[in-house]
Structure 1
Amino acid sequence: HPNITHMNIHAASPLPPGYHDLGAYDHGVAPEVEDTDGHELEPMRRLQRRYGKFVRQFARMYPPDAIHAHDWLTMEAGMIAKEVSGAPLIVHVHATEFDRSGEHSGNPLVHEIEQQGLMMADRIIAVSRITKDMIVKNYHIPPDKVEVVYNAIDLADLPPHEYDTATYKYLEDLKTDGYTIVGALTRLTVQKGLTYFVRAAARALERYDKIAFLLSGDGEQRDELVALAARLGVSDRVIFTGFVRGKQWRDAYYLIDIFIMSSVSEPFGLTALEAAHHDTALLISKQSGVGEVLHNIMRFDYWDVDKLADEIVNIARSPGLQSALKRNVKDEYARLSWRDAAERCVALYQASAERRWA
């Protein structure tokens, strides 16, 4: 992290440059540990164990005033640091295993780590009320132990961009012919509710022909979604780009007119803020936390394919509605600030440390 100057960063577990596939989300297997016992999380578990040993030694050498651990990936290390130093532990929940597993049960080992981490935490930060309610209900945590701190976006990470119409020429040609482009930039996983997205696309096309759909991203559901689009007869209107970054990523946002977040369970949903910045109308599932801070959007239950299809068609057919949604949501997202979120976190550190010495 050569550009980080506001904090000290210590390399706990060296990895090959650009290597990210540790089996945490897509069940990949690191090539250097192919002889493991076959557990789908074993590469990540090995990394976590090494990280925990590093944190144990580090916390003894440099006792912290407070510990801030993020999600199940670092909860165990946070508990180790608390055990060694006695400092208060603040656990920041960006997603639970209930979120990541969509409509499935999830990994019991991850559930166990989350349960322990949340019980041992002195304070918990949730990225939305939806997430707080899930922590309280599913992990039996007292509500007054959980603070909601919303995410934001840093506009410095989204500098002015010159849109290249050649990047997605097929869709740009359709747009020139009067088509509305509906899209999502996301991981293609069960959590994101994308089978409902594709089914809603097919229903919308039955009612209004001048729509095309863009799905940018990759994940274990890609082949399933491609096959579903073909089976529903809409493969010529649902375009899969694969994983995109940089110029292609920015161009995808500029291309689409309507952004859809169809998540089964989305603790927050930063991509909705990014889409708002790029002048799109937003259709957000009621199971997504970002709907708590954005109100000039249209909502639907992730499973309600007919309602989603109706909303897509209504926006596509009404330039006035589309323009109003784009304009008004921009005013809302611009009021969200990482500085405000950081100040809330610092206040929790200070209050937790003061209680420790009270």
Structure 2
Amino acid sequence: MKLLMLGWELPPHNSGGLGVACFQMAKALAQNGAEIDFVLPYKASHPEADAFMNVLSATDAPPMVDDQGNYIAMGAYSGNCPLCGSRHCKHARAYTKGLTAATHRYADQIESMVRGGTTAPKIIHAHDWLTMEAGIRAKEATGAPLVVHVHATEFDRAGGHSGNPLIHDIEYFGMQAADRIFAVSQITKDIIVRRYGIPAGKVEVVHNSIDPGELSHTTGQTDTSYHYLRQMKTRGYKIVTGICRLTVQKGLSYLIEAATLALSRNPKLIFVIGGSGEQRNQLVELAADLGISDRVIFTGFVRGARFRELYEVSDMFVMPSISEPFGLTALEAAYYDTAVLLSKTSGVGEVLHNVMRFDYWDTRKLADQIVGISLSPALQSTLVEGIKQEYLRCNWGDVARKMMHQYSRVIANHRRLSKVSRVKEVVNRG
């Protein structure tokens, strides 16, 4: 089955979980018979992805990086101003305008590619809002059906607020034009149905998964990145970790406030926040204002061995998201025998049940849970063993087979509707 997949990033040029999910998903689809042309808005080398699919570039532009060399996903995750983190300043409006211009250019190139015969898909698969216009135009140019994959809506990215109306419109028209919609969780499906008015029968829940091969434990090579944390663990300290983009959506200010409460009851806790994003300075200042900056470590963006070893050294993983469509990092944390604490608005909670849950705003309850686990090895062990059985049932192969089945249904239905349309056209002419 020939598949045109439209996405905004792939590892190693990714700034978050979207690129990781797209990579692992495409790999599993290829193993199940899909021939994939994956088109990106930038030009770069992707040697691992090239092994199982054809990675194409819609432009000659290089990937964007920030001052620290971290990759910027060109707004795939956020409509916030990259300078101040606001969604309302003049820079944010200009930034959004620039993003929509980038999506138009990307769509122009996609249309040229399909009309020029560079790719001839049986089905088109567009990931999130930045590729939806391109997906619609590719559908119009080829006649192939369109699947839109919603990893997050603008309501999620805005941290539960209304968000950017322009992005809402793009999402609405993209989902209206789609022949089928994949949602990464039931939470996301409910938002699509309730907030965008899409019929529930048009939306299929397709949970993300993990590839254990990509998460294999380190090979014993010396790495001193977390030597301090390992030393503190030998002295009885517990390591509480959150790994995510530092944005309002992720609710990290609530985690820092909960950390203050937890430390007042158990001082042998160290909090580690891994990731980069527009909220970094604000979160650093919050930790300082609350008097716990000596117990909160900000690592910056992590990948590779340092990424895996941060999981390995952790005792607890906390996802305090205000609105988390899925939350791939929680699955990764479970793989590394870590007790997991999830906000009730995290989609990954639909596949992981042996976790502690809390309302994202309830800092007192989160603090209670952190302290409870830190003081009870038995509770920590019970959570770890319970969640292990759940992540062992997660694999991208099952997800890919479900998607291939959905593709076949979409193609068959598209052919049937096209045939009916042609018959009606003949009847009307007669």
When the two structures are superposed, what TM-score results if normalisation uses the length of structure 2?
0.78
- RMSD of Structure 2 on Structure 1 (CA): 1.9
- Identify the match of residue 207 of structure 2 among 143, 150, 162: 150
Alignment of 1:143-292 (within 5 A): 143-161=200-218, 162=220, 166-292=224-350
Alignment partners' CA distance in 2, 1:43 and 1:250: 35
Structure 2 partner of 1:136 = 193
Q: Is the 8 A contact 1:126 1:149 kept in 2?
A: yes
List per-residue Cα deviations over 1:61-81 (Å, max 9, x = no partner). 344322111100111111101
Q: Secondary structure at the match of 2:195?
A: helix
1:147 aligns to what SS in structure 2? strand
- Asked if 1 retains the 8 angstrom alpha-carbon contact of 2:82 and 2:92, the reply is no
% identical equivalent positions: 53
- Cα offset, 1:166, TM superposition: 3.0
Q: CA deviation at 1:164?
A: 5.2
SS of the counterpart of 2:54? Answer: coil
- Distance of aligned partners of 1:327 and 1:37 in 2 relative to their CA distance in 1, 3 Å threshold: closer
Please tell me whether the aligned partners of residues 334 and 384 of structure 2 are also in contact (alpha carbons under 8 angstroms): yes
- Corresponding residue for 1:307? 365
Q: What SS does the corresponding residue of 2:342 show, helix, strand or coil?
A: strand
Contact 2:249 2:322 in 1 (8 A): yes
SS at match of 2:113: helix
Identify the range of structure 1 (170-179 vs 159-168) with the bigger mean alpha-carbon deviation. Answer: 159-168
Give the drift of 1:6.
Answer: 2.9
The answer on 1:316 being equivalent to 2:361 is: no
1:32 corresponds to which residue? Answer: none
The question of 1:114 aligning with 2:171 is answered: yes
Secondary structure at 2:57's aligned position in 1? coil
Q: What is the rounded CA distance, in whole Å, between the counterparts of 1:308 and 1:37 in structure 2? A: 33
Deviations 1:180-236 (A, max 9, x none): 111111111101000100000001111222211111111111111111111111111
Q: Is the 8 A contact 2:245 2:277 kept in 1?
A: yes
Match of residue 348 from structure 1: 406
Specify the SS of the correspondent of 1:330: helix
Distance change in 2, residues 1:166/1:79 (3 Å): same
- Kindly indicate whether residue 97 of structure 2 is the aligned counterpart of residue 52 of structure 1: no
The answer (yes or no) to whether the contact 1:103–1:190 under 8 Å persists in 2 is: no
What whole-Å deviation, never above 9, does each CA across 1:312-341 have from its counterpart, x for those lacking one? 011001001101111221121111111111
Change (3 A) 1:28 1:221: closer
> CA–CA distance in 1 between the matches of 2:197 and 2:141?
26
Cα distance, 1:11 vs structure 2: 1.7
Question: Compared with structure 1, are the counterparts of its residues 143 and 58 closer, same or farther at alpha carbon in structure 2 (3 Å cutoff)?
Answer: same
Q: Which of the residues 44, 47, 58 maps onto 1:2? A: 47
Q: Give the conservation status (yes or no) of the 8 Å contact 1:23–1:43.
A: no
| TM-score where L is the length of structure 1 | 0.93
Equivalent residues, number: 352
Q: Does the aligned pair in 1 maintain the 2:240–2:317 contact within 8 Å?
A: yes
Q: Distance between the aligned counterparts of 2:325 and 2:93, measured in 1?
A: 30
2: CA distance, partners of 1:164 / 1:291: 35
C-alpha distance in 2, partners of 1:272/1:335? 15
Secondary structure, in 3 states, of the residue corresponding to 1:10? strand
Question: Tell me, which stretches of 5 or more residues in structure 1 are unaligned?
Answer: 30-35
* Alpha-carbon offset, residue 58 of structure 1: 2.5
Encode CA deviations 1:85-130: one digit per residue, 9 max, x unaligned.
2221111001111111114332221111001101111110001000
Q: SS of the residue aligned with 1:41?
A: helix
In 2, the alpha carbon distance for the partners of 1:335 and 1:246 equals 24
Kept in 2, the 8 Å contact 1:181–1:211? The answer is: yes
